């Protein structure tokens, strides 16, 4: 699929300003680890937002090869992309039904809606598809404290009573979302679990799912029947303040477009950041249009008042700091300490990867790894690697 899909190949390598490499072996290893941590529950996979920016097709194929049989997306079009890569999987769509016309997407892809409201319930009952032996298969999202999407506890109880009589819907899965799972001792976790368990009792024939990536590491009762790892699959640390057990999956490198010497007292980029020494500047062909956030700038953005250091690159075994403001298509790095002849135009500087973890870059940008990964642009040349070989 990867070789024949221009979208997944990304930009032509002869002219691309940057390169995104996705290590499918690391992805598979992360899934195996999370599945082990989820035992005795089944580990599904959250692959919304184009598999967190890394490409739905290759990611889903790699996860299917590891035994993953349940996937979660946000929107039905994402579900159709998963279906092409996983013909036999159960595919759940988080964001529910916007109108009766949406039901045709679910029917086409045999997608399972997550019903979040009275409107969703009514639309699916009237327009949903029937399985071989069950009417209108679906999942139900129940609200336990996040107050985002989901049926209120009162509405869930009414539905349970009504559906027991009519059998109009066939809930396969009851789910809710933990708000504070990445803070293991937060009291909200236990409150949500207890509320969720009480609501699951209303639907004894359905499986239950509460734990996201961080929730898996709460263990015990939080695991329920199905876990839903997302960002941890892609290499981000699922629990704040702990050593990251996940392998890095995505690496981003930017091509050097120009090397230039700027004397002490000179300035660089928008806002004219002054230099306090003679500086060798590497101008790289990646910027915020590619998802490399402007807030990672070395100077000239308000975040630097709170977090003094901006982002770094990595090349020739050394970290090199971003200079001045990141711009739309270009980012500057101070490579003086590498020496005058260490680099040349066309070399690549690592922006994120084994030497610069995604969570570290996210912290420098004042954001989270989710935002960085899903913002990765399609101007990168894309490499998918398995068994040491590009596929």
Cα-based distances in Å from 148 to 144, 179, 228, 385: 10, 10, 18, 37
Does the annotation place 146 within a ligand binding site? Answer: no
Is-catalytic flag, 48?
Answer: yes
**Contacts of 345-348 spanning 24+ positions with Cβ under 8 A:** 345/256, 345/257, 345/258, 345/259, 346/255, 346/256, 347/255, 347/256, 347/315, 348/18, 348/19, 348/253, 348/254, 348/255, 348/256, 348/315
* Catalytic, out of 70, 92, 270, 384: 270
Strands (E) across the chain are located at 18-23, 42-43, 45-46, 70-73, 90-93, 112-115, 137-141, 170-175, 207-209, 226-227, 250-262, 267-268, 273-274, 279-284, 312-315, 318-323, 331-334, 348-352, 381-386, 389-390
Is-catalytic flag, 288?
Answer: no
Does the annotation place 83 within a ligand binding site? Answer: no
* Catalytic, out of 48, 92, 234, 292: 48
User: Distance between CA 121 and CA 98 in Å, rounded?
Assistant: 11
- Tell me the binding residues for substrate: 148, 328
Q: What residues are annotated to the active site?
A: 48, 270
Q: Which residues are part of a known binding site?
A: 148, 328
């Amino acid at each position: 699929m990867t070789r024949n899909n221009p979208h997944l190949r990304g930009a032509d390598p002869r002219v691309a300003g940057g390169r995104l490499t996705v290590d499918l072996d690391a992805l598979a290893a992360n899934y195996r680890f999370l599945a082990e941590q989820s035992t005795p529950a089944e580990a599904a996979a959250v692959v919304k937002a184009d598999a967190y920016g890394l490409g739905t097709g290759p990611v889903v194929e790699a996860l299917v090869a590891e035994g993953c049989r349940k996937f979660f997306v946000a929107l039905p079009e994402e579900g159709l992309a998963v279906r092409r890569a996983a013909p036999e999987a159960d595919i759940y769509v988080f964001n529910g039904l916007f109108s009766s016309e949406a039901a045709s997407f679910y029917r086409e892809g045999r997608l399972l809606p997550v019903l979040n409201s009275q409107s969703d319930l009514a639309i699916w009952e009237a327009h949903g598809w029937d399985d071989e032996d069950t009417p209108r298969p679906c999942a139900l999202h129940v609200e336990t404290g996040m107050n985002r999407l989901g049926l209120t506890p009162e509405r869930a109880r009414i539905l349970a009573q009504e559906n027991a009589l009519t059998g109009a819907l066939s809930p396969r899965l009851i789910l809710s979302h933990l708000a504070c799972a990445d803070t293991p001792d937060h009291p909200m976790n236990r409150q949500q679990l207890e509320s969720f368990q009480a609501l699951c009792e209303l639907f004894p024939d359905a499986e239950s799912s509460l734990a996201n990536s961080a929730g898996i590491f709460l263990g015990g009762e939080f695991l329920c029947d199905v876990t839903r790892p997302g960002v941890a699959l892609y290499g981000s640390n699922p629990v704040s303040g702990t050593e990251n057990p996940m392998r890095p999956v995505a690496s981003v490198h930017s091509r050097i477009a120009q090397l230039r010497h700027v004397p002490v007292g000179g300035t660089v980029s928008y806002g004219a950041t002054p230099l306090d020494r003679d500086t060798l500047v590497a101008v790289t062909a990646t910027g915020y249009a590619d998802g490399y956030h402007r807030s990672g700038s070395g100077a000239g953005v308000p975040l630097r008042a709170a977090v003094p250091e901006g982002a770094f690159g990595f090349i020739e075994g050394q970290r090199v700091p971003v200079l001045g403001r990141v711009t739309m298509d270009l980012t500057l790095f101070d490579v003086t300490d590498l020496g005058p002849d260490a680099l040349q135009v066309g070399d690549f500087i690592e922006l994120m990867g084994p030497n610069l973890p995604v969570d570290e870059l996210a912290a420098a940008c004042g954001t989270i790894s989710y935002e960085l990964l899903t913002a990765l642009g399609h101007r990168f040349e894309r490499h998918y690697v398995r068994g040491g070989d590009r596929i």
